[in-house]
Amino acid sequence: MTKGRILIVEDSKQQADLTRELLEKNGYEVVWASDGISGIKTIGTTSFDLILLDLILPDMSGNDVCRWLKLNNDTKGIPIIMLTVKDSLDDKVSSLEAGADEYLAKPYNEVELNVMIYAALRTKALQDELKQRNKQMVELLTKVEFLAITDSLTGLYNRRYFDNVLKKELTEGKRYRKSVACLMMDIDNFKQINDTYGHETGDYVLKEIAASLKTIFREADTIARWGGEEFIVMMPHTDMNGASSPASKILKAIDEKKFDKIPDEHITVSIGVACSGETYNTPDILVNASDLALYEAKRKGKNRIEVAPGE
């Protein structure tokens, strides 16, 4: 195992060989490029932990190479130590402004170079570790946020998330004078399924119906598990005509669906539909209207769609 891979961009082969010998003796893997373009091409095909970059190159300035590397997302994190015979303050400042992490004048002391490389690699390792931890933290927060708004069984949104989205969509609907449709649906005779086959099979039915809902409604629609065997869908910018088609599709899809675990059972849903307007103008009123329409669908025999009064 090497301590790391280092690229030397140096036009003098003699100087490059001396530096390579020194670095390899100290456990580093070394690659040499004789000019700026070759260095950039090499970096594009091989990963490096650090770059020793000569300021004066035959084809372009080391500062230009440095700027290019620091502007590239794939290479900007690689530490660059600028090496040069120029040792004026202006030269140091210009190299640091170009993005160099350190500046070392030639001829350099072996110990000084090793210490500088070690410090640069150690800083890079700490930065990489911090980036990894930040990435893990972001992934964890994303997962927590997802769990906070999702029903764990079906993968649909939960009731709390639905309430928040409905409030926003109703506010926007009022502003732009667009209706919001609300569909409340319930699995018919679901208690009988649980009592006959057990809750595991009941969970299977819930997940299967949730999957069917996802295939029928639009990406802009919000589908949630309302509780128990009830589901609710919010369709923004949708009036009763727009809501009728997907409601009929889901009714038909469930009516015709074969549930592999219980092939002898005929499962259906009942649906209640309401749309926002002058009468149903708040989240609670709109949801209650669709719930009452659902109740009416149940009362009239199930496996049907009913709309709220006044629609």
10, 102, 169, 229: which is the annotated catalytic residue? 229
**Residues 183, 247 contacting (CB under 8 angstroms):** yes
Give the containing element (helix H, strand E) for 8.
Answer: strand 5-9
State the SS3 of 54-100. Answer: ECCCCCCCHHHHHHHHHHCCCCCCCCEEEEECCCCHHHHHHHHHHCC
**Residues 69, 36 contacting (CB under 8 angstroms):** no
b/e sequence 63-84, b meaning 16+ C-beta within 10 Å: bebbebbbeeeebeebbbbbbb
Give 136's strand partners: none
* Catalytic status, residue 229: yes
- 104-110-116-120 Cα dihedral, nearest 10 degrees: 110
Tokens 């980036």 sit at which residue? Answer: 131
**Pairing relationship of beta strands 80-84 and 50-54 according to DSSP bridges:** parallel
**Residues 218, 276 contacting (CB under 8 angstroms):** no
Whole-number Å distance between alpha carbons of 163 and 264: 37
**Residues 292, 259 contacting (CB under 8 angstroms):** no
Which residues are identified as catalytic?
Answer: 229
